[in-house]
Every structure is written in structure tokens, then in C-alpha cells.
A and B are shown apart, each in its own frame.
Chain A
Amino acid sequence: MPLDTSAYNLALLRVDGRRWNELRRVHAQIRTQAAADGSSYLEMGHTKVMCVVTGPSEPGPRRGGAGAGGGGGSGGKDAEVAVSIVIAGFSSVDRKRHGKGDKRTLELQSTVSNALSASLHTHLFPHSQINISLHVLSQDGSLLAALINAATLACVDAGIPMTDYVAACTAGSTSTYAANDEAADPLLDLNHQEEQELPGLTVATLGNSDRVAVLVCESRVQVGRLEGMLAVGVDGCKQMREILDRVVREKGQRMIQEGTVERGVGLNDMDVD
């Protein structure tokens, strides 16, 4: 078994060899499923998620409890962002099955829905529904952040107008709550082991601004350390936005080269050289 997170102070290295302010490797693709309106695949380290977006479309018959509503009901003047998350049994080490009504899953659904509703121009599509369907293939920490990022990419791919990217990541702190170490370093992008052992939070910002769209903190941490964690987290979100942006641009470029899309059709604001 490798060392635990308490070894950080020996050489300022985290359990997987990263420094305090480094993201894990992020790999992302869009338009992974041609048949869908929008789709994406995203890896943050070993956390792997897939996303498919359909809509905006007329809301189908309501299925009990499956979608978490956001941004008003489907009958309202804004489109409803319905998120459903399926966590594969094989995604985590303990291979626990997550039912659809699982409390944690429901909470994730509603958080993702609220985050995306903040950026999507739902008022353009009254009386309709945007379905975001997320599949978790592998879990290694920062799950919520990965879900938000994948959903953002898929929405971009679906061509739904939005203010800007919603980019998310996690931040933590190198010492536990009980150790109460004022000088603890903040950490960027927690993996599973760090999430288990250390305090952490998930933050998402809107585009290039410092506007926080999501802030979730489920662990106990001293207020004094929160500011540093948040600053690192927001900085991580900016890096994440760059990565997402690059993925979108590269895909667009390739599509033009391959002739899938004509230059200038719907992409006039994109720099292609």
C-alpha cells in the first residue's frame, strides 16, 4: 500500500506525485455519439464520465422521479434542465450498486441541473425540456466536477446557447480537520484517496469570470483555511475552462478540415487558422 496523505510534508508531494497546485491529466472529447444532439466524454485522472444531451425538445410524459427538475417546470416559460445520472456498478472499487433513487445520486442530479441552468439560456425555449444524461464509468474523486464539465461540453456540442462554459474542479487542504494545522497547503483537484482523508470542496465558475456557480463543501474544515482552498479551486476552474475551450476549438477545426461543417456556417466567431 502506498503512503497516505500525511506524507505530503516530507517533500511537498501528494499521494500520486502531484504538487499542491496541479490538476490531474484531463482528457476530453466532444461529439462522441453522432446520433445524439450533443455528447461528450471526459476523464479527470481516473474519473471517467460520458454525457449525452437531447433537446431542447417537447417534454415527454413525466416519468416518476427520474429527472431532477431545474429552472422551473416544463410547463413554465423556461426550458427545464432534466439531469439523470447512472453510476455504473463497476465504477468504484467496492462495486456497490447505486439505485436510481439513491440519495446521493439525486443530489448530484440537482446540483448539475442548477449549475447548467445558470449558464444555459433556458428562456429561449419555453415549454420544453433539455435532457442531460450522464454515465459514470469510473470514479477516482472529484466526481461532481467531472459531471459538470462533461455536461458543459455536451451542451456546447448540442448547440444550446449558453453564457459561457461552466467549469468545475475540487480543492482541498493538506491536513485533516482534527489536526487543525493553520499552515496547511491548499490542494487542487482531489483524487479518491485525498477525498477520503482530507477536507475538500467542489467549486464551479462561469466562464472567465470569478463568478461562482456552484460551491459544495461536505466536509468539516476551519473557516481560516476556506479562503485559500476557494482561491485555489477558482484558479483550477480557470485552467479547466481553458482545457474545455481547447477541446471545443480543436474539434471544430477538425470538423471544418474534414468538411463536416462548412467554414463560416454557425461558426463565424471561431478562429480557424
Chain B
Amino acid sequence: MASLKRSLDSDPFAANISSKVYVRSTKRGKVQKIVREVYLRQDIPCSSKLCQSCLRSAPTDAAGRSTPFVLSEAPAGTSVYQQGHYLVPDTNAFLTAMDLFEQSAAFYDVVVLQVVLEELRNRSLPLYNRLINLTKSEDKRFYVFFNEFRLETHVARQEGESVNDRNDRAVRKAVAWYAQHLARTGAEKVPAVVMLTNDRDNLRKAKLEDIPACSLADYVRQLKDGDKLLDMIPETQDQDVVKERRPGDLLYPEYFSMSKMMTGVKGGLLHQGTFNVSPYNYLEGSIRVPAFPKALLILGRENINRAIDGDLVVVEVLPKDQWKEPSTQVIEEDAITKNENPDAGENEALVSERERKALQEEVRRTHGKTTEGHAQPTAKVVGVIKRNWRQYVGHIDQSSVSQSAQQGRKQDTVFVIPMDRKIPKIRLRTRQVAELVGKRILVTIDAWDRGSRHPSGHFVRSLGELETKAAETEALLLEYDVQYRPFPKTVLDCLPKEGHDWKVPQSLDDPGWRDREDLRGLLICSIDPIGCQDIDDALHSRPLPNGNVEVGVHIADVSHFVRPNNAMDNEASIRGTTVYLVDKRIDMLPMLLGTDLCSLKPHVERYAFSVIWEMSPDADVVNVRFTKSVIKSREAFSYEQAQLRVDDGSQQDDLTKSIRALLGLSKKLKQKRLDAGALSLSSPEVKVQMESETSDPIDVKTKELLDTMSLVEEFMLLANTSVARKIHEAFPQTAILRRHGAPPKTNFDELADQLRVKRGLDLSVESSRALADSLDACVDPSEPFFNTLVRIMATRCMMAAEYFCSGTQAYPEFRHYGLASEIYTHFTSPIRRYADLAAHRQLAAAIGYETVDPSVRSRGRLEAVCKNINVRHRNAQLAGRASIAYYVGQALRGKATEEDGFVMKIFSNGFVVLVPRFGIESLIRLRDLAEPEPQAEFDAETYTLETSGSRAVKVELFQKVRVHVTDQKDETTGKRGVKMELVKVC
């Protein structure tokens, strides 16, 4: 009988094959046992430039190229390892101090072990990606050593050994191997190989095995100027700092275990969602979950339980008798926790006396009313699924700095107040208090344990003095995660070699002219804001013999220059959009393309992507076609110039006539849209006027609306809609589109109630048409601004529009609510939006101009692109607004004016006023009205606040008020902003 038994020695591979067994659980809760082969080898190089033997056996890729060695032959030394050293960090070192590795003062020549990389990837994908980026950077010299695949460094898990212990042992074994291996190179100065770990047990074992090892803190102390870097080591890792706390000291409830949360969520007992903090009350948060139509309220420190704005959390709904109304009171963290001691005292209570008082008033108020059924369900946080922590810009709270720290280099604990009001203050230990006070600084949050009232974090870097333009601009860009670094060389290499001399080829036989229509003969012009350099779009119209009109929209042909998947394309897809600040533009594409080669400048020939309609005189589309083209714009108008030209009856040239024709058609198009229920929404828009030389702000103006603006807008909307239909038809599963969901009716509850109570007006939200009509009816004959005010408030009840990939939604969900369009996309601004660029590629494929690139067909990839650009788009808007707010503050600096304002929101201890002229809103608190703080009676039913005592006024919602506007530096956020004082109620 033959047997299937295999004799091992006959197998030449046998000694070098190992297998890895691990267990994983699937999404559906099944447990799977996975066995994988591992092939052990001896040709994995150490990658030290000192080593000759590895060089001989270095692997090559299929093209025969080998990877150059990474680690320097003469690495830097420290006070202990003067001969030079290579670092081998363990997983925890990267998990806790990635910032340290990224900075440029030290941490060169680092060996990243495979076991560490794998562990890091399982623990944190963002950190893994940052580490991968480091390995790609040439000057940092990080080398990934696949220790698990090298015969000598492979470690099998022993019986009874925990995974962690095995991994630690693997790290030590790799370090030991490196040391031996380098010793054999016979180099004059053999660098030490130093393990970095904060694990005490691992350090002890390393010492026993005679392996050089340091904790992060010890290592940094060996460096020159190490003091500064010490601040970047997170507090919890500084082992001396962590005090053993008694259970009685724990301030916050413990989180549930992950499995308990998952079971709870599955069973419907717990709910999962993103935690949001109220902008007016730092002790009130809310979370939207599918099971409840209204957001769940989370009130108070204990219920919020260490969740920070944006975290993905799991909550438990509280019993009905604890349900409450949302707060009508403004509670600001700085006012309440002002005098807290950052050196957390032993007898610290979770809820401070002052907080208790503030909350008590709340409870008293709600108690009287619970019978009326206004109460909203409340909940408490029982666990955090995923933290949304990032780096935060802030400044050190001056009052938290002790006198001694101002002078010495002693480590001190201070509070950092983040610029984002929704983020709690962060406890920071630093040795450089004196240098950092008065600066904008970047910090991260490391942990928030149960024993500490505030989260603790560490210092990353300083941006510069508060209120200097450079520091504030960088702060803004960091806060909104705008990629503002110069384009790397790999991106610039993708630009046409001719640079600014690039021209549309003369010869029609040139491949650039393939399938392009010659539209140079058409009277095309562009209309944009003054000073616009990146001209995305241009238009033309001409009468046709049959009485119809030909209208063309010509868009810069960016996809001709930006090929899919090259470095420039990848960079643009990460940036997602161009960001416009008051004094600065952060481009999505390099300047050469954005403001020159792609820009549809007048009098030069440019490549374009054209949408050409035949329209009846009533602005009905008879047919539409799409083509790549070459155009020559005749003129670049500003809105104002175009308007003047249209209005001037003496101008009778063909170009002016064609603009008039377009204007006529655009009005009809707009009427059609409005008839279909398109909304005309509003947000306060202002423009900051700058001194041309110093670019200091001098004045603020509200934006004027001209007919020519809506002319351009209408045709862009039409082009976007036409393109959306076309690409959806060609790629039903993968078209990149833009949708705007209908807002849930409950979003309008408050506004509808306010309008009914205060003005007897009815807000109907059945459909966008009904909403548009009822918004039109919201007028106050004596106050023309009232309608705009209501529109501004209605806009804030809306959902955000979003990009999506057509396969992810059913057709009815494609609808754009605000534009009342069945289907919509972005096509008309490819210079400054990545979505448009993707739409260009899809349209080019749809009309057979080029073959479909896989990246614009792969649904997974497109979904990732959409997800990213949705975030970028929103951040760009916020950054733009924040920039305007900063400059409005600067423009007002030292000036005081009296302006009209309107009450937008009322609290029991203050109210919010919007000043249309500056487009700013600001909170006026009771204590701002008079000294001492006046008594106040707040009627939540009628939205009225009546004060008495030191000052008697009656403030109502929607009311017009006169306010005194001055600039003021906000001590909390360190931002210069606007301070308003009530002069009188009109």
C-alpha cells in the first residue's frame, strides 16, 4: 500500500517553510481559522550601505532593477552611541509618537520591522499610511526589513506565549541579528543598533540579552536639543508621569467592551452615530441615529463621557423621565472652567461647582415644562468606536501658566485652548512654556483617561506669533486640513515641457487636433469676477437660419493635460478643490495649468470641451452635443463690464448682441427652474476690499447681484445637467454625479414654529416647490431684509449636497433638491474641482473621444474619490468663510461703527445678532448688556427675552436692532473677531 505520508527530508524546501496560523472573525461574527504559508529566505538585505555581502544577493524586480540601499554608511550618533546608530522602534513607539519620527531634527536611519508594520496597520490605518510615506521619503532613510521572512530572524510563537510577547521577542531577535550582521561587515565604525520601546518588560529583557535599548524619553534626552523634542512624547507614555490612581479617583464611567457594544447595537438596545457638540454649549452634544427621527441629546460631562466632536460613539437612551429640551442657554467652557488648575488635583470632582450651577438652572427650567411634551430623548455615551482626533491649532491659556514655568525649563502642565470651540481644552505638558505663550501652536490629543477631567495631549510645533498673517493663515489651513505645501517635483514633472510657451499646434494633422472641432471662428467670450485668472468657462451664441439659437458653453480642457493616475492627477485628487482665502489661493493644479495653459484667456487659442445646444427662442433645448474643440475667446469680461455693455444701447456689435441673446435665454431658463421648484437660498456674502500694495484689509462690502452673474450661472447649470444625463447614460453604474437630499421635515420644525409664533407666517416644507413658495411669502413690508434673514435661516436647515457614484443610489435619490433637477453633476470648473475633471474623463469616454481609463470606471475607486472630495469641498468652504471672518475683524481693527442687525436666535442668557453689512453674527450675552448682569425673563414659547434691573430691554426673535460694532480679540480662541454691543432695540 502506498501511503500519503510525506517524508520531510526529501523536500528541499522543508526547513524554510513555516506557516502562520491566525484566527479572524468576520463581519457576521463567524470565526475563521486561517493558515498561511511563509517562505523563509536568506536574501533579504539589511540595506546598510556598509554591507557588501547583501549587495551581492540583493533582489531585483522583473525588469532587473534592484532597489538602492537605504541606511547611511555614517549615521548620526548620540551622546551614548557616539559611533553612530540605527534605530529599531517597536509598534508602540510609532503609535504614540509618529510626530517625533516625522520631524526633521533627528530620527534618521530607522529600520521598520515587518512585525511592527503589520501590528501598526492593524491598530491604526492613518498612522500606517504616515509611516509608509516616511519609508518613501529619500532623506529620512526609513527601511522596511521583512524580519518574518528572513530565516535568521523568523520567530515562531511558543506554547503559552502571548502574541505581544512573541512580537517583542521578534523585535529583539531582529535587533540582535542586525548587530551581528553589521559587525561582520568589517567596517571601521560599526553603528549601534538601538531598539526603541516604552515597554518596561521588553526593556528589561533586552538588557538581559545584552541588546542596546532605550525608552523614547531616554533616547530623546541623548540627542542634542532633545529638550524641545521631549514635548512631543505623549504624556501617557512618559512612564514616570502616570500615577497609579485609586478606583475612587476615576471621574468618568468606564466604556463598554467592544463586543458588548456590538451586541447592543445589533439588538437595538444601543445606538451608534457621530457625536456633535453644540456650538453654543460645550456641555451639550447631539447624535443622529436611524432609530429616532430627532437627534438624541447628550447633556453634561458625565453623559458625554469623554467623547469629542466627530467621534463615532455608541450611546444608550436614558429613561423617559430624564428626557429634556435642548438648552436655551449659552454655556461657554472658558467662562466656566476659567480658574481650573491644569495640574489635576487629587480631590478633583468630575462636575465642578460652577458647572453644576449652570446645569441646575437648566433642570429647573425644564422641570416646569416636561408636561408639555417638548422634551427630546436624551442619551449617554457608553463607548467610542472610533476617535476622530486630529491635530488641533490652539494657543496656551495664559491664566493656566504658573509663574515659575515662565522662567525656567522645568516641565509644566498648561491648558491649550483649541481654535475650534467644539474641542475641549487640552492638557499639555511642556518644558517651553515661556517660548510658547502668545504663539499659535499645533497639538494633538493622546488620551483621555477616566481619571482626568480634560484630555491630555502633546505639542507638535509652533506656527508663529498670534495674529500675524502668516501664523493665522497657516492655522486656518491646518484647521481645515488644506494641503498647502508646494507641489512636489514629481507633480511638476507632469507639466508640458514647453511651459508657458505651449501653444495649440498649428498643424491640423497634429495628434492634439484628433477629433477636435475647430471653433476658433465663433464669437466666444468669458464673464467672471474681477481679477479672475483661472478662467474655466466661456460662452457663445448665434442665431440659426431656422429661427432657433445655437448656444455653446466651452470649458477648459483640463483632462487633456492631467492624465489619469500620474503624480499630478493623484495630487489633484487628494487636494480635491482649489481653496480661496481672502488674500491667497491654494491651487488644486499647478499655476502653469490653472492660470495659463488651461485658462480660457482672451485672444489666444485654447483647447476646450464644448457643450453645444440648439435652443428654441423659448429656451427649450432642441438638441445637445458634446465635443472636444479649439476656441479663441474674443474678450474676458468682468460681470460689471459685461453688464455695462449689455445695458448700453449704443453697443450694437455682434458680440454684445450675442450676450444680450444669452441674457434673454438665461432669464427664461431661470423662470423654468423656479417653476419646477428650485430654491433661491441665501447666505450672507461679503467681500473684503484690500489695500492694493500692503494687502491690508480696508473695507467690507456686501456682494452685489448682477444679471450677468445669473446669466453665467444658468448656462453652467444647464451644461452640468446635460453632461450628467450623458455620462449616466454611458456609465449607469459609475457616473460621478452630485445630489442634494431633501431635508427631513423635522429640520424645519423650529423655524416653522418661530415664523408662526412671531409673524403668523406658514412655512410649508412638503416639497421644494412648496418651500420655495412659502419662503417667497415670508415678507415684512417694513423690513426688506426680513425675507433674506428667513432664507439664511432656512439654508441652515438644509442637507449638504454631495458627490456620489451613480451605482450607489437608486435613480430617485439622484435628485438635486435645491436646484429641483432630477440629475446633476459638476462639469464646468475642472481647473478648481476634481469632480469636474473626473466628469470630463467620463464624458470624453462617453462620446468615444478616448478609451475609458480604469480609474474612472472602477466603482470602489470612484467612491473613495467622492468621499474625499465631499470632505475637501466642505473644508474649503469653511476655510474661505473663516478667512473672511478673520479679515473682517482686521478691517474693523481700531474702528467702531454702529450698524443695523437682526436677532437670529435667542437663549435664556443671551441672543445672536446678524449684521448684514459685514455678514457676521455674534452673540450678545446678558452680562454684556450692563454691569452688573441684569435680571432676565425668558419666554421660550414666544422667543422673547426681557431684562430688568440694571438695564431693561425686550428682545424678540427676528427683531431689528442697532448695535455698536468694534473689534475684539477673543481670549478664548485667540482670534480677532467682532464684538457687538446693543445700542437700542428698533
- Contacts from A to B (Cβ < 8 Å): 1-3, 7, 10-13, 15-22, 24-25, 27, 29, 31-34, 41, 45-46, 93-94, 140, 177-181, 183, 185-186, 191, 193, 220, 222, 228, 232
- Is there contact, CB below 8 Å, between B40 and A20? no
Cα distance, A93 to B44, chains bound together (Å): 31
- Is there contact, CB below 8 Å, between B11 and A2? no
- Is there contact, CB below 8 Å, between A11 and B144? yes
B566 to chain A, nearest CB (A): 10
A146 to chain B, nearest CB (A): 14
- Is there contact, CB below 8 Å, between B62 and A21? yes
- Is there contact, CB below 8 Å, between A180 and B854? yes
Please name all residues of chain A whose beta carbon is closer than 8 Å to the beta carbon of B36 when the two chains form the complex.
2, 15-16, 46, 191, 193
- Is there contact, CB below 8 Å, between B861 and A16? no
Across the interface, B858 reaches (CB within 8 A) one of A16, A17, A177, namely A177
- Is there contact, CB below 8 Å, between A46 and B146? no
Please name all residues of chain A whose beta carbon is closer than 8 Å to the beta carbon of B22 when the two chains form the complex.
1
- Is there contact, CB below 8 Å, between A13 and B37? no
Cα distance, A185 to B13, chains bound together (Å): 24
Give the residue among A12, A19, A21, A220 with the most B Cβ atoms within 10 A: A12
CB closest residue in chain A, given B18 = A17
- Is there contact, CB below 8 Å, between A10 and B37? no
Please name all residues of chain B whose beta carbon is closer than 8 Å to the beta carbon of A33 when the two chains form the complex.
2
- Is there contact, CB below 8 Å, between B40 and A17? yes
A88 to chain B, nearest CB (A): 15
- Is there contact, CB below 8 Å, between B117 and A41? no
Please name all residues of chain B whose beta carbon is closer than 8 Å to the beta carbon of A46 when the two chains form the complex.
19, 35-37
A1 to chain B, nearest CB (A): 6
Proximity string of chain B (90-115) to chain A, C-beta cutoff 8 Å, 1 when within and 0 when not? 00000000000000000000000010
Given contacts A27-B11, A178-B861, A228-B62, contact A2 B118 (CB under 8 A): yes
Which residues of B, 22-58, contact A by the 8 Å Cβ criterion? 22, 24, 32-41, 44
Proximity string of chain B (1-27) to chain A, C-beta cutoff 8 Å, 1 when within and 0 when not? 110101000010100010110101000
Please name all residues of chain B whose beta carbon is closer than 8 Å to the beta carbon of A11 when the two chains form the complex.
44, 59, 67, 144-146
Cα distance, A222 to B565, chains bound together (Å): 14
B583 an interface residue at 8 Å Cβ cutoff? no
Cα distance, A41 to B5, chains bound together (Å): 11
B240 an interface residue at 8 Å Cβ cutoff? no
B121 an interface residue at 8 Å Cβ cutoff? yes
Please name all residues of chain B whose beta carbon is closer than 8 Å to the beta carbon of A13 when the two chains form the complex.
44, 59, 146, 149
Cα distance, A89 to B6, chains bound together (Å): 24
- Is there contact, CB below 8 Å, between B67 and A12? yes
- B contact residues, range: 35 or more
Cα distance, A44 to B10, chains bound together (Å): 16
Cα distance, A183 to B565, chains bound together (Å): 13
- Is there contact, CB below 8 Å, between B854 and A220? yes
A251 to chain B, nearest CB (A): 9
Cα distance, A16 to B13, chains bound together (Å): 14
Please name all residues of chain B whose beta carbon is closer than 8 Å to the beta carbon of A19 when the two chains form the complex.
59
B148 an interface residue at 8 Å Cβ cutoff? yes
B684 an interface residue at 8 Å Cβ cutoff? no
Q: Which 8 pairs across A and B sit closest by C-beta, in order of nearness?
A: A17-B149, A178-B858, A17-B39, A185-B62, A25-B13, A10-B144, A178-B861, A12-B59
Cα distance, A178 to B17, chains bound together (Å): 33
Cα distance, A64 to B565, chains bound together (Å): 51
- Is there contact, CB below 8 Å, between B854 and A191? no
9 contacting pairs across A/B (C-beta < 8 A): A11-B145, A12-B59, A13-B149, A17-B146, A20-B61, A20-B62, A21-B62, A24-B37, A183-B63
CB closest residue in chain B, given A93 = B32
Please name all residues of chain A whose beta carbon is closer than 8 Å to the beta carbon of B148 when the two chains form the complex.
17
Which residues of B, 107-133, contact A by the 8 Å Cβ criterion? 114, 117-118, 121-122, 132
Cα distance, A197 to B858, chains bound together (Å): 14
CB closest residue in chain A, given B566 = A180
Cα distance, A21 to B4, chains bound together (Å): 29
Cα distance, A15 to B38, chains bound together (Å): 8
Known: A1-B122, A10-B146; 8 extra A-B contacts, CB below 8 A, are: A3-B121, A27-B6, A29-B2, A41-B4, A177-B854, A180-B853, A180-B854, A193-B36
Cα distance, A10 to B967, chains bound together (Å): 54
B135 an interface residue at 8 Å Cβ cutoff? yes
Please name all residues of chain A whose beta carbon is closer than 8 Å to the beta carbon of B33 when the two chains form the complex.
93
Please name all residues of chain A whose beta carbon is closer than 8 Å to the beta carbon of B808 when the two chains form the complex.
none
CB closest residue in chain B, given A43 = B6
- Is there contact, CB below 8 Å, between B62 and A34? no
Please name all residues of chain B whose beta carbon is closer than 8 Å to the beta carbon of A7 when the two chains form the complex.
117
CB closest residue in chain A, given B41 = A17
Cα distance, A136 to B486, chains bound together (Å): 56
Please name all residues of chain A whose beta carbon is closer than 8 Å to the beta carbon of B239 when the two chains form the complex.
none
- Is there contact, CB below 8 Å, between B2 and A34? yes
CB closest residue in chain A, given B12 = A25
- Is there contact, CB below 8 Å, between B61 and A191? no
Cα distance, A3 to B148, chains bound together (Å): 12
B787 to chain A, nearest CB (A): 49
CB closest residue in chain B, given A92 = B32
B855 an interface residue at 8 Å Cβ cutoff? yes
B595 to chain A, nearest CB (A): 29
A153 to chain B, nearest CB (A): 13
Given contacts A1-B22, A24-B37, contact A29 B59 (CB under 8 A): no
B860 an interface residue at 8 Å Cβ cutoff? yes
- Is there contact, CB below 8 Å, between A29 and B117? no
CB closest residue in chain A, given B112 = A10
Which residues of B, 420-473, contact A by the 8 Å Cβ criterion? none
Across the interface, B62 reaches (CB within 8 A) one of A177, A178, A186, namely A186
B369 to chain A, nearest CB (A): 53
CB closest residue in chain A, given B151 = A17
Cα distance, A46 to B18, chains bound together (Å): 12
Please name all residues of chain B whose beta carbon is closer than 8 Å to the beta carbon of A34 when the two chains form the complex.
1-2
Please name all residues of chain B whose beta carbon is closer than 8 Å to the beta carbon of A27 when the two chains form the complex.
6, 11
CB closest residue in chain B, given A45 = B37
- Is there contact, CB below 8 Å, between A10 and B118? no
Cα distance, A24 to B37, chains bound together (Å): 9
CB closest residue in chain B, given A138 = B35
Cα distance, A22 to B37, chains bound together (Å): 14
Cα distance, A22 to B148, chains bound together (Å): 18
B241 to chain A, nearest CB (A): 33
B203 to chain A, nearest CB (A): 27
- Is there contact, CB below 8 Å, between A2 and B20? yes
Cα distance, A45 to B13, chains bound together (Å): 11
CB closest residue in chain B, given A21 = B62
B564 an interface residue at 8 Å Cβ cutoff? yes
Cα distance, A236 to B251, chains bound together (Å): 64
- Is there contact, CB below 8 Å, between B37 and A191? yes
Cα distance, A41 to B6, chains bound together (Å): 11
B27 to chain A, nearest CB (A): 12
CB closest residue in chain B, given A15 = B36
CB closest residue in chain B, given A178 = B858
Please name all residues of chain B whose beta carbon is closer than 8 Å to the beta carbon of A31 when the two chains form the complex.
2
B572 to chain A, nearest CB (A): 16
Cα distance, A140 to B37, chains bound together (Å): 10
CB closest residue in chain A, given B864 = A178
- Is there contact, CB below 8 Å, between B39 and A178? no
Give the residue among B33, B36, B564, B565 with the most A Cβ atoms within 10 A: B36
Please name all residues of chain A whose beta carbon is closer than 8 Å to the beta carbon of B20 when the two chains form the complex.
2
Across the interface, B37 reaches (CB within 8 A) one of A3, A16, A178, A222, namely A16
A33 to chain B, nearest CB (A): 7
Cα distance, A18 to B36, chains bound together (Å): 13
Please name all residues of chain A whose beta carbon is closer than 8 Å to the beta carbon of B860 when the two chains form the complex.
178
CB closest residue in chain A, given B14 = A25
Cα distance, A21 to B132, chains bound together (Å): 25
CB closest residue in chain B, given A6 = B132
Please name all residues of chain B whose beta carbon is closer than 8 Å to the beta carbon of A180 when the two chains form the complex.
564-565, 853-855
CB closest residue in chain A, given B36 = A16
